[in-house]
Amino acid sequence: METGSKSLPGTQSVSSPPHLPLAPPRLIELSPQNLYDKCTALARNLWWSWHPEVTNMFRELDPIRWRQLDHNPIALLAEFTPERLEARAAELVLYSRINQAYRRLKEYLAGESTWSNVHAGVLGSKPVVYFSAEFGIHESVPIYSGGLGVLSGDHIKSASGLGIPLVAVGLFYDQGYFRQQLDIDGYQHEEYLQSRVEALPIEPALGANGEPVTVQIDTRSGPLFAKVWKMSVGRVSLYLLDSDVEGNKPDDRE
């Protein structure tokens, strides 16, 4: 006995179309806000700074403003709406690159097959604390002035790559290094620029109670209070002490 659809004399059998979802997942994934959120997540972890393909992706969004904003993706994205970002990404065919970069970052942060886990698993329960007066991670985060900062920055980037459970602690400088110019007579002139917290990849460090952390440091001249900023450098958390806190002496707040 044959199986299959049958039709009455004089009629045609019509196959029912398969059910079509109202909103394909791909359209949801590439919505303007979702695309913007992915770019923001990439910009807020300095993992991008040692991956040229991600750096180039940000630069291509607006090469002129990228240069004028000192290669700062957070400051650049602040000038985009989700809709404008989507239009620019469509124009440059950046969808797949943004999704790939975001996926790579998530896989990197969740990865367990690191050098540390394989060769030094005991460190997992004994994190290393790394103190430095300055950390040079990238020029868009001006909290360093020379070689010491660059060396410290390279150390925590390497620790991130190796998966070493390292916690970095340093100082927050709201002016950071200065820009220098030479006049016609060869004399140097310095210009200190004020950093805008909202344009930096930092956020308040939160305690177990969910409140921003403030620490007290005992000095010869009395107690000094500091709020704490958190910066993500790949797998490593960098905590920066900021003495610009109400209650400190004016000199201590500078």
**Both ends of the chain: CA-CA distance in Å?**
91
End of a domain among 65, 90, 110?
110
212 and 147 share a domain?
yes
133 and 56 share a domain?
no
Give the pLDDT score at 214: 95
* Whole-angstrom distance, CA of residue 177 vs CA of residue 193: 8
Residues whose CB is less than 8 angstroms from the CB of residue 42 and which lie 6 or more positions away in sequence, other chains included:
48, 54, 73, 98, 101, 102, 105
Q: Is the whole-model pTM more than 0.85?
A: no
Residues whose CB is less than 8 angstroms from the CB of residue 4 and which lie 6 or more positions away in sequence, other chains included:
none
130 and 174 share a domain?
yes
153: containing domain: 122-253
End of a domain among 89, 110, 131?
110
Residue 35 has pLDDT above 60, yes or no: yes
What three-state secondary structure class fits 113?
coil
Is 12 part of a structural domain of the chain?
Answer: no
End of a domain among 57, 85, 110?
110
Question: Of 43-52, 114-123, 157-166, 176-185, which gets the smallest average pLDDT?
Answer: 176-185
pLDDT digits (tens, 9 = 90+) for 135-157: 999 999 988 887 889 999 999 99
Burial bucket for residue 22 (CB in 10 Å: 0-12, 13-18, 19+):
exposed
> pLDDT-based confidence at 15, cuts 50/70/90?
very low
153 and 247 share a domain?
yes
241 and 149 share a domain?
yes
pLDDT digits (tens, 9 = 90+) for 227-245: 999 999 999 999 999 999 9
147 and 229 share a domain?
yes
Kindly give the interhelix angle for 82-92 and 52-61, rounded to the nearest 10 degrees: 110
Kindly give the interhelix angle for 95-110 and 82-92, rounded to the nearest 10 degrees: 110
Give the pLDDT score at 138: 95
Give the pLDDT score at 121: 82
Q: What is the DSSP letter of 42?
A: H
Residues whose CB is less than 8 angstroms from the CB of residue 157 and which lie 6 or more positions away in sequence, other chains included:
50, 137, 233, 234, 236
**Contact assessment for residue 116 and residue 123, using Cβ atoms and an 8 Å cutoff:** yes
* Whole-angstrom distance, CA of residue 157 vs CA of residue 153: 6
Give the pLDDT score at 20: 46
> pLDDT-based confidence at 2, cuts 50/70/90?
very low
Mean pLDDT over 216-235 rounds to 95
